Structure 1
Amino acid sequence: MFIGSFVSHVELVWTVPECVAFMERLGTFCRVLLFDKAGVGVSDPVPRVRTLDDRAAEIEAVMDAAGFGRAVLFGGSESGPSSIFFAATRPERTRALILTGTFAYFGFTGWGDLDCDPSKLREHLVPEMGADYTPSVAQLARWQSWARAAGSAWGSGEATKALLPSVRLTRQLGMVERMSASPGMARVALEAAFRLDVRTILPTITVPTLVIHARDEIIPVQEGRYLADHIPGARILEVDGKDHVPWLSDPDTILTEVEEFLTGSHAAPALTRRALRTVMFTDIVASTNQAAAIGDERWRALLHRFNEITDDLTQRFGGTIVETTGDGHLITFDGPTQAIRCAEALRDGAASVGLQIRAGIHTANANWARRPSAE
């Protein structure tokens, strides 16, 4: 049972190649169930702050509907505490617990804390959490900045950009925010997170527990260490990364550890490593002449818009931009089909802003049908 945060949409997740690859790998040794919590994504809005009892009841209802008698709970972000609560109150239905990028105690008592001096806030938290587990002043300031954006600028992409710094398209992140929750629902979710405190529950957990945390993500790694040290028998996996989701912060390491944790062994190689690689080079036709004709300012604006189009389409077709060369890009794909479709979409995208591009596509696997170029 993958229990995500309030930035969730069960349809949109399948347009994110990294998430798809992550879930497919999980699916090689598990049956995977994703759902949108009440008030999130395609689920109905809720009129009030959800309690831990409410969230646990939602998890149980989804399990019943899917025929899951006992499940591994994979809880991330603010869904970690509800997963912990479920495991503590329903151990007979919990096979194991995996916690990623989450916490036992948010540390804020309300919206007023977001404007507090972070050094004063840390002084308040040290007696409650202990010096080893209390975030630094810089970490608290970063957390406050994110929470302010989530509470006041939801829909702009600013809040999710802080969660996922490796994703470059703020506009696309704004769309994800708007599809996941309304501004009101985002505030309700944050208010619920402010009230969460499952510290006293941690010693009662009896199921095997794995804690995963990226060292430089928005939720301080000290929170993950606190969980691992206070849940009996829990082990922790710290990975390098700044992103708040496991499919962007060292997913191969995480998936290998999860598979070994659940099955006692792991298969190799991982699905996220593929032999077939395709490279696409693009450039704008007659770019020098166009720049001279329309002037530097308009040309820079046009290039900026086309770079946004290229970023968007590259992500849509599962590619990675390796390098940008003024009026061109070097992009890699897992196979030629995605590259050709991306090139065709880029051609149309360029035409929509009055540009024409050339795209050369090369693949290392001769068994695939090759198309040297698409214009």
Structure 2
Amino acid sequence: MATFETDVVQDIRFARSADGVGIAYAVHGAGPPLLIDACWLSHLQFDWQSPVWRHFLEGMGRVATVIRYDERGHGLSDRNVTDHGLEARVADLEAVADDAGFERFALMAMAQGGPVAIEYAVRHPERLTRLMFYGSYAGAHAAATQQELEMYAAFEALIRVGWARPGSEFRRVFSSMMIPDGTEEQMRWLDDLQQMACDTETAVISRAQRQIIDASARLPEIDVPTLVLHSRGDRMNGFSHARDLASHIRGARLVALESSNHIVLEDEPAWPVLLREVTDFIEADRVVPPPATVGDDITTILSPRELDILRLAAEGYDNEAIAAVLVLSIRTVERHLQNAYAKLGLQGRTARTAAVARLLSRA
């Protein structure tokens, strides 16, 4: 256990990813579980002392049991890592989720964590109660303008030249883009956090590998309640990314935060809005629904995607045909069916027949 200057206690643990990399994660707060997908500028200990992050951690901890982790190569996680590809990062998230021990949880993707969370949501829909994106994207280059592409190239050069320098003038470029309305004290903390989070080589390699990941094609496969939170004037990840997420995820709701900061700060009006939206969104997770019974309305138990799949199954379609009609992978169809069977209390070889019968009995 570790106690910090804010008198907040967090439990720091380590999970082992599929390739053996140790991923540091921490648990604090009380309430329904909320797993926060890694933000590249993080340090599980240093963040608690930060005038940029402290209010966010304390606010989330008042409404949820927060599980957050340092990305591979960053913070307290294993350093000197060269693989920052999508599969490795999804495996990190899987390792943390499994090690934390919560059967189901809400997932929040921050910044570059979007593609990882999207892939996890598609692969493991049965684990998620709901999904949130905060200042995030499906792909860094998705719908990027020429000006943005040129900016990405300039950023890499800045990292190579100035990341390790004692002075913060090069790192200040990133700080001023993330929190343009921040105070000098807040800017200095972000300047320092960049060096504390990772070394120059990791910053360059991880960023280059993140830039080529695009999970946009997976968005239509997501079938959990989804909330997209994004600052309208975000200079790091433009607001167009939020529109892209919300318009391609079925039923997603978009909340535009009136801020120019990538990280919404404590003293701006957008912060209580963000906290209220998250609080209201996860409120349903505080209530554990009773097991389904034969008399329950199946349409109130299953998600829209599960119902779509079950209706096609009722028409005689096999899993391969269902996947083709709904433009899903066969694996995703199988996972949705298994999730539906679990909700209906069905198992074994007769589960599909029994689920279809439940659906048809309502017709």
Question: What interval of TM-score do these two structures reach, taking the shorter chain for normalisation?
Answer: 0.5 to 0.7
Deviations 1:26-61 (A, max 9, x none): 223311112112111111114323222211211121
- Aligned pairs for 1:153-192 (under 5 A) are 153-155=162-164, 156=168, 157-158=171-172, 159-167=174-182, 168-169=184-185, 170-192=187-209
Partner amino acid for 1:252?
A: P
State the match for 2:129 in structure 1: 95
Counterpart AA for 1:184:
E
* Alignment partners' CA distance in 2, 1:104 and 1:152: 29
When the two structures are aligned, how many residues end up with a matched partner?
A: 241
Segments of 5+ residues of structure 2 without an aligned counterpart are: 1-34, 287-363
Does the aligned pair in 2 maintain the 1:78–1:103 contact within 8 Å? yes
Q: What's 2:350 paired with?
A: none
CA contact (8 A) 1:151 1:190 kept: no
Distance, in Å, in 1 between the alignment partners of 2:214 and 2:139 is 4
**Aligned partners of 1:150 and 1:165: how far apart in 2?**
19
Deviation at 1:246, TM superposition (A): 3.9
Query: Does residue 38 in structure 1 map to residue 56 in structure 2?
Result: no
Provide the rounded CA distance (Å) in 2 between the counterparts of 1:147 and 1:238: 29
Find the partner of 1:80 among 108, 114, 117: 114
Gaps of 5+ in 1: 108-128, 267-375
Checking the alignment, whether the CA contact within 8 Å between 1:14 and 1:20 is kept in structure 2 is: yes
- Provide the rounded CA distance (Å) in 2 between the counterparts of 1:141 and 1:215: 22
Partner amino acid for 2:233? D
Q: Deviations over 1:205-225 (max 9, x none)?
A: 011111111111121100110
Is the Cα–Cα contact under 8 Å of residues 38 and 113 in structure 2 kept in the other structure?
yes
After superposition, the C-alpha distances for 1:215-239 in whole angstroms (9 at most, x for unaligned) are 1112110011001101111111111
Partner of 2:219: 202
- Per the alignment, residue 353 of structure 1 pairs with none
Q: How does 1:1-375 map to 2 (within 5 A)?
A: 1-17=35-51, 19-107=53-141, 134=143, 145-155=154-164, 156=168, 157-158=171-172, 159-167=174-182, 168-169=184-185, 170-217=187-234, 218-247=236-265, 250-263=270-283
Residues 228 and 45 of structure 1: is their aligned pair in 2 closer, same or farther, counting only changes over 3 Å?
same
Q: Indicate the RMSD between aligned Cα atoms, in angstroms.
A: 2.4
Q: Residue 247 of structure 1: CA displacement?
A: 4.4
Secondary structure of the corresponding residue to residue 130 of structure 2:
strand
CA distance in structure 1 between the aligned counterparts of 2:95 and 2:240, rounded to whole angstroms? 32
Contact 2:52-2:190 within 8 A present in 1 as well: no
Shift of 1:72: 1.1
| SS in structure 2 at match of 1:95 | strand
> Offset of 1:76 from its aligned partner?
0.8
Q: Is the 8 A contact 1:139 1:220 kept in 2?
A: no
The Cα of 1:64 is off from its aligned counterpart by 2.2
Structure 1 counterpart of 2:90, one-letter code: A
Structure 2 CA distance, aligned partners of 1:221 and 1:144?
20
Residues of 1 paired with 2:195 and 2:52: CA distance? 21
Q: Residues of 1 paired with 2:216 and 2:101: CA distance?
A: 31
Q: Which residue of the partner structure matches residue 269 of structure 1?
A: none
Tell me, in whole angstroms, the C-alpha distance in 1 between the residues paired with 2:248 and 2:190: 35
Task: Name the amino acid aligned to 2:163.
Answer: W
Asked if structure 2 preserves the Cα contact closer than 8 Å seen for 1:143 and 1:219, the reply is no
After superposition, the C-alpha distances for 1:91-121 in whole angstroms (9 at most, x for unaligned) are 11122111111111222xxxxxxxxxxxxxx
SS of structure 2 residue aligned to 1:175: helix
Q: Aligned residue for 2:327?
A: none
Q: Could you say what secondary structure the match of 2:230 adopts? A: strand
For the structure 1 residues 141 and 173, does the alpha-carbon distance in structure 2 shift closer, same or farther, using more than 3 Å as the test? same
Larger-gyration structure (1/2): 1
Which 10-residue stretch deviates more, 10-19 or 35-44? 10-19
TM-score, scaled to structure 2: 0.61
Deviation at 1:77, TM superposition (A): 1.0
SS at match of 2:229: strand
User: Percent identity at matched positions?
Assistant: 28
TM-score computed with the length of structure 1 as normaliser: 0.59
Q: Which residue of 2 aligns with 1:117?
A: none
